[in-house]
A = this chain, B = another copy of it.
Amino acid sequence: MSSSWDQPVSKELRMVEEEIMRNVRSSEPLLTEIATHVIGSGGKRMRPGVSLLAFRAVGGTDLSKIIMLSAAIELIHSATLVHDDINDGAEIRRGVIAACRKYGTQRALITGDFLFVKGFRLGGLAGSDDIVEIVADTCAGMAESEMLQSLVEYDHFLPLETYLQIIEGKTAKPIEASAQVGAYMGGGSADQVEEMSTYGLNIGCAFQIVDDILDITGEEDTLGKKRGMDILEGKPNLPLILAMRDDSPGSARIREVFGKQSKTQEEVDEVLHLIQATDALDEAMRYAESYREKALKGLDVLPDSEYKDALRALADTVLERNR
């Protein structure tokens, strides 16, 4: 994913980065090391980028609190990634060895908790009660979606509504919250705050669907992780759900393999090929495009500015990204 979309807030993003780094310093050197490994593995910084652009786009000027809040959001996001990797038994994250592999589950779990605490501390200090509620409710929703996702593993007839409920809670609402917090802190009108939320939610859904597609079609070197992880782990993503729903022989075979708790690499590769032979990927991309359209409509409420342009560019980047 090109990061040029965030150019108008590049100075602010550097301030966020400094704020994050200040917050991962610990009296326990190993904790600092693991936290820095997690935070420093790069990542797209999409959430802080969105919050800062939303803040600027509605005319926000006083940076002090939005920098802290953007850093808080990224710290919390990083905490959930570390814990997700433990739950998924991930080996690679952002092209780098996952913290739980490098340092062990126990220490990764502790570091996740540490990042959570640091994020909530910063959010609590910078934000009003409204902000605390938005951030906390979003995090509770993430836990709820993760739990729901754990219940539908290996389910080869997952209703689309359940899938959408999961990706909303897991991915889209955190991005919605980023946009909402940015517009709110920037002094946006009620209408602007609401429309920016719409933008964030829809861009988040599009982002997750493209993530799903990349799990099937992505270049492993660019992606920084192996293809077919969702298939291997029994996570019904959108192209999978679409490819498993009809009564063709290919669909039946995908269902058969997908439902197995243990799969060979050959079986995963076979499913990857079978999905590519259907129109599931095109259809999934049409879903993503439709979310992008809805996201872009949310921008109508903003006056023209380089920040608005950047939010539009992000919407394009999300769909065109290859990692």
A→B interface (CB under 8 Å): 26-28, 30-31, 79-80, 83, 86-87, 105-107, 109-114, 116-118, 120-121, 123-125, 127, 129, 132-133, 136-137, 139-140, 143-144, 146-148, 150-151
B144 touches A117 (CB 8 A): no
Nearest B-chain residue to A136, judged by Cβ: B121
The prevalent SS among residues of A at the interface is helix
Complex contacts, A124 vs chain B, CB 8 Å? 120, 123-124, 127, 129, 132, 136
B133 touches A125 (CB 8 A): yes
In the bound assembly, the distance between CA atoms of A7 and B83 in angstroms comes to: 40
In the bound assembly, the distance between CA atoms of A147 and B31 in angstroms comes to: 7
B113 touches A121 (CB 8 A): no
Complex contacts, A105 vs chain B, CB 8 Å? 86-87
A144 touches B106 (CB 8 A): no
In the bound assembly, the distance between CA atoms of A128 and B245 in angstroms comes to: 53
Complex contacts, A121 vs chain B, CB 8 Å? 132-133, 136-137, 140
In the bound assembly, the distance between CA atoms of A78 and B139 in angstroms comes to: 17
In the bound assembly, the distance between CA atoms of A143 and B140 in angstroms comes to: 21
Complex contacts, A114 vs chain B, CB 8 Å? 140, 143-144
A143 touches B83 (CB 8 A): no
User: Given A116-B116, A120-B120, A132-B121 in contact, is the A107-B30 Cβ separation under 8 Å?
Assistant: no
Nearest B-chain residue to A79, judged by Cβ: B113
26 A-B residue pairs with CB within 8 Å: A26-B140, A28-B148, A30-B147, A30-B151, A83-B110, A83-B113, A86-B109, A87-B105, A87-B109, A106-B150, A107-B147, A109-B109, A110-B143, A112-B113, A116-B120, A117-B140, A118-B136, A120-B120, A120-B124, A120-B136, A121-B136, A121-B140, A124-B124, A124-B129, A124-B132, A124-B136
Complex contacts, A136 vs chain B, CB 8 Å? 117-118, 120-121, 124
Q: A109-B109, A120-B120 are in contact. List 10 more A-B contacts (CB 8 A).
A: A28-B147, A87-B106, A87-B110, A106-B150, A107-B150, A112-B113, A113-B139, A117-B143, A124-B132, A125-B133
Complex contacts, A140 vs chain B, CB 8 Å? 26, 114, 117-118, 121
User: Given A121-B133, A121-B136, A133-B121 in contact, is the A27-B144 Cβ separation under 8 Å?
Assistant: yes
Q: Which of B109, B139, B150, B151 contacts A117 (CB 8 A)?
A: B139
In the bound assembly, the distance between CA atoms of A121 and B129 in angstroms comes to: 9
In the bound assembly, the distance between CA atoms of A107 and B120 in angstroms comes to: 22
Within the complex, the shortest CB–CB distance from A110 to chain B, in Å, comes to: 5
Complex contacts, A148 vs chain B, CB 8 Å? 28
B144 touches A26 (CB 8 A): yes
Complex contacts, A117 vs chain B, CB 8 Å? 116, 120, 136, 139-140, 143
In the bound assembly, the distance between CA atoms of A150 and B83 in angstroms comes to: 18
Complex contacts, A118 vs chain B, CB 8 Å? 136, 140
